[in-house]
Amino acid sequence: HFEARKNNMKGIPRDQLPKIGQLMKENGILMIPLVVIIWLLVAGFTPFLAAFWGILSSVAYAQTGPRTKGFFVAVTLTVPSVLFMWSPFEGPSYLTAIWAAVGLAGFYWSWRKEDLFYWIWGVIATLIFVLLLLQNTNPELSAFWANFFVIVVGLFLRQGRMRLEHVIDCLEWGTKNALAIGAACAAVGFIVGATTLTGLGLKVASATIYLATSTADVVKAVDLLNLFGIDQLSLVFTLLYTAVACLILGMGLPTTPNYIVVSIIAAPALLKFGIAPLVSHLFVFYFGILADLTPPVAVAAYAAAGISQGDPFKTGVRAFTLAWAGMYVPFAFVFSPILIFMPWILAKNPGPFPLFDFVFVFATVILGIIALAALIIGYFGDRATVPERFLLFLSLIMLWWHEPISSVLGAILLTGIYIFQRHRRLKEQKVYAT
């Protein structure tokens, strides 16, 4: 955005933009997997379980068509409360009323959107799944019998009849995909085994921490005002060196191998420093993916250059420069874990969600990203001079530290810079107009 403003590039006229209301009406159902993930995290379930059911709901929606979309909504609204062993009829009366109202609304909506004949069979399949779960049946076995019922019914439907050879083809296709995944897991085993036996991960972790501690000692020696603690400096340099290592290790690797390599080799350094495993893995994975934009390899930049017919290396350098602002985010994960609902979601008795802390941290991170982007591009409300860039750097450091006082001061400084630059730009425009 700042790059476009700096070069006087205009966006699409507002009257040509798509209408949000119409988009939500047509494709709002695509938000359901995200809602499922957020609901599970806020409800206190593990991130792995939330991710699993988010992926499962995405796959389920991918199999729906216009005729079955309404039924998918009904199932999504009614199954979770039973699926996660929380019976709505054992809780407070208002929760029961809300659950019942949402479920009935979903089924009514699906009934209005579908053929009654198909809707009845869909409801029966859902009831089989839910009733088996209520009988404490294994979820996988419950899903198997529900799917088996759908296959049997599909054999007798005129429209879209599922023939036996089609079912066999589906089973063959699923088996081939499972074999590919199994082969990938086996290959991963070689990497894990080699890293474990040679101790490469621990050696890299020890070297990273030693280098970070040494750098922190040097910086502390010149910190005459005693502004920073040795532990804080060690953490910052450990994160920086780990980020550089991930950018190197992730070059040229697809997503899954990328995560495997950085989580095995780079993540132990953060784990030894006492950072939570989930935060550590998110940090290294984030920078591992950013390796796709990092020269000289920059696979994504080479692909973009092929489309734009531009110079691959220059495209990579420019992409890496523009991506710098996003590098603020993984550091925010470490300094403020509440941003990813940590450690609240992993606590045995999490208690009420700290909404105020979350909103404060979220706002601080947004302002930090803006400050870093303005610093790199050299534009905020107007083109930034050297002193203004220095002030942007100070505001970034204040926001990066994620302390209440420093964050407020950083926000005030950032706002002041924007107001000053905006006023100067408007004044220059008036002069040019006259």
- Hey, CA dihedral for 240, 246, 248, 251, is it positive or negative? negative
pLDDT digits over 249-286, tens only? 888 777 777 888 888 888 888 888 888 888 888 899 89
Closest CA to 139 of 36, 39, 56, 58: 56
CA distance 14 to 12: 6
CA distance 214 to 211: 5
Q: Bigger pLDDT: 330 or 79?
A: 330
Work out the average pLDDT over 171-196.
Answer: 71
Place of tokens 């696979």: 299
Specify which of 70-79, 144-153, 422-431 reaches the highest per-range mean pLDDT.
Answer: 422-431
Q: Say whether pLDDT at 413 is over 90.
A: yes
Q: Say whether pLDDT at 122 is over 80.
A: no
* pTM of this structure: 0.65
Instruction: Delimit the domains of the chain by residue range.
Output: 64-162, 163-198, 199-335, 344-434
CB atoms within 10 A of CB 102: 15
pLDDT at 86: 47
pLDDT at 291: 86
pLDDT at 261: 82
Structure-derived torsion over alpha carbons of residues 197, 198, 199, 205, reported in degrees to the nearest 10: -140
Query: Which range has the worst mean pLDDT, 42-51, 220-229, 369-378?
Result: 42-51
| Residue 355 in tokens | 């909404």
Q: How many CA atoms lie within 13 A of 1 on its CB side?
A: 9
pLDDT at 344: 66
Work out the average pLDDT over 354-383.
Answer: 88
| Residue 278 in tokens | 């989930």
| Residue 343 in tokens | 């450690």
pLDDT at 65: 55
Contact 287, 247 (CB under 8 A): yes
pLDDT at 84: 44
Q: How many CA atoms lie within 13 A of 154 on its CB side?
A: 16
pLDDT at 79: 52
Specify which of 12-16, 158-162, 241-245, 301-305 reaches the highest per-range mean pLDDT.
Answer: 241-245
Q: What is the mean pLDDT of the chain?
A: 76
Work out the average pLDDT over 388-400.
Answer: 89
Query: Which range has the worst mean pLDDT, 15-19, 289-293, 304-308, 412-416?
Result: 15-19
Q: Say whether pLDDT at 340 is over 70.
A: yes
CA distance 44 to 203: 36
Residues near 399 by beta carbon (within 8 Å), at least 6 away in sequence: 364, 367, 368, 371, 406, 407, 410, 411, 414
Contact 291, 253 (CB under 8 A): yes
Structure-derived torsion over alpha carbons of residues 249, 337, 270, 48, reported in degrees to the nearest 10: -70
Closest CA to 266 of 286, 289, 242: 242
